[in-house]
Amino acid sequence: MPPRRTNAGSRTRRAAGRTPARFPGAGPARATPAPSPPAAAPAGGEPAVTWLELDVGPVAHGGICVARVDGRVVFVRHALPGERVRAVVTDRSHDRYWRADAIEVITPSADRVAAPCPHAGPLPPPSPTAAASAAQQAAAAAAAGWGCGGCDWQHASLPAQRRLKAQVVVDALRRLGGLAAHVAPDDDAGWRTAGTVAWPAEAPTPADGEARAATPADGTAAPGPDSLAVAVAALPGPGERDGLGWRTRMRFAVTPDGQVGLRAHRSHLVVPTPDCRIAHPLVVAKVADRRFPRADAVEVAASLPSGRVWAGPVRRPDDQPPPGAGALGRGREGTAARAPSDEPEVLVEQVRDRRFEVATGAFWQVHPAAAELLVAEVLAALAPRPGETAFDLYAGAGLFAAFLAEAVGAAGTVVAFESDRAAARSATRSLADLPQVSVRPVRVTPASVRGALGSAGAGRRVDVAVLDPPRAGAGPEVMAALLEQRPRAVAYVACDPAALARDLAAALALGYRVTAVRGFDLFPMTAHVECVARLEPAEPG
């Protein structure tokens, strides 16, 4: 079968009769030794480079694809499903799998495009003939602007990125959640650009004794009646058409000479990226032509409603080595303390007709359209009613609590749980006009969830709940404590599909069912995806 052509403008070429495309420093185009164990280290003490020619398989969580060679799994970055690539092994410390970077694309996917960012792509492999060590060569490549680890999918078209993310969600729901799920076909998605539509009133339920049939790994089989259709929708505004210029909050690393940058993948090496293409223009302008000597990192936050931008360096202790000075590999980050900023540390955000005064250290969604979209989705999923009691777990700066409070009215109650002090203060400040909201500056634990109603009022029950946990998820104990209250509807906002799937599995065991899972592309060009799942009791009453 002849290789498929890439999209116009791709850096790849046809494999037949032409030299395969490769990143700078890839070496000879067709030298493809048979897969073998790592070669012995040369006299200099560094291991020899191991090259593999791979047929790339399905996508996996984390911006990688899966290939296999001689029975070993190889996780490949910078590749796409169905491609044939020449890759260099970057990590062989595990017995069962290796990690690799695709350096040359021999047979490209039709979804491959030219990366819009000049910093995207892998670090070039070290040259065996160069006098410098491999670590020195990698550091020089990073300093020249190659190998940024901030984006995972710059080489894929935006529609392909969203399909890949949907497949990752489906795979997690099936493997970790015990749910039947499939990637929604394009003609059945209905909301590829995000917009709230009615959530289903009931989940599809399998017949008595019928096991939930799992779809194949690629999600292409005809789904059963109980299968959840998953699509990942684009957000309106910045990044909708090109995936760029959307990120309003950034934490930059800093090079030894004080430039802002991002680290290479799984490395301490810092790639200078003051022109980061996914950063909002206000963020880019704030760090342009600036140096931050003796800083370990620089935090930048932009408020689009006000046009104000804050930037604050994070200092490292005097005995900590400069960032990026170590060898390749992962290691412990040094402790750091925020230095005084050059502007006030509270920014004003606006969602619908409400203003939120958010501390720059508190969590806030980084995509300009995310907060409004997620509020609409949560309200549609929960349909809160006047007089009801609502829980907002992991409330952050009070985004969901504010609009739940407006919906339940003065006769209702909203209990918001948030352990981060800056975020809890922001929520208290922004929701001061809503006396029905009780902001609890506590960790979300089974005890705090179970004890909340005792102080909220005798005879109350939890009617609806939203939770937006950190990447690790809520965990089965917290899910149990929440669902013991038997809320009639729960909206689970998740930034990690695996954690979401595990928590949904816990909910299924507690007598709840999942009526829908929706994905949203809050983070174009990266492997991250936001999901909203709706839960309701499997048995009414």
Q: b/e map of 54-80 (b: 16 or more CB within 10 Å)?
A: bebbbbbeebbbbbebeebebbbbbbb
The answer to whether residues 56 and 76 touch, using CB atoms and an 8 Å cutoff, is yes
Reference 518, options 172, 238, 199; nearest CA is 199
State yes or no: is 495 an active-site residue.
yes
Query: Coil, strand, or helix at residue 94?
Result: coil
| Residues 356, 369: Cα–Cα separation, whole Å | 15
Angle of CA points 533, 438, 403, to nearest 5°: 45
Catalytic residue among 65, 148, 495, 531: 495
Q: Are 414 and 392 in contact (CB under 8 A)?
A: yes
CA distance 321 to 318: 8
Buried b (16+ CB within 10 A) or exposed e, 512-534: bbbbbbbbbbbbbbbbbbbbbbb
Name the DSSP letter for residue 242: T
Listed in sequence order, the residues at least 6 apart from 363 whose beta carbon sits closer than 8 Å to its beta carbon are 396, 397, 420, 423
Kindly report the length of the chain: 541
Looking at this protein, which amino acid is placed at residue 300?
Answer: V
Rounded Cα–Cα distance for residues 463 and 457 (Å): 14
> What is the phi/psi pair of residue 263, to 5°?
-80, 150
The strand pair at 389-393 and 413-417 is best described as: parallel
Asked if 215 and 223 count as a contact pair (C-beta separation under 8 A), the reply is: yes
d(CA 176, CA 61): 13
User: DSSP assignment of 7-55, as one string?
Assistant: PTT-S---STTSPPEE-TT---SS--PPP-SPPPP-TTSPPPP-EEEEE
Q: Which amino acid would we find at residue 442?
A: V
Q: Tokens 């060569």: give the residue.
A: 137
Catalytic residue annotation? 495
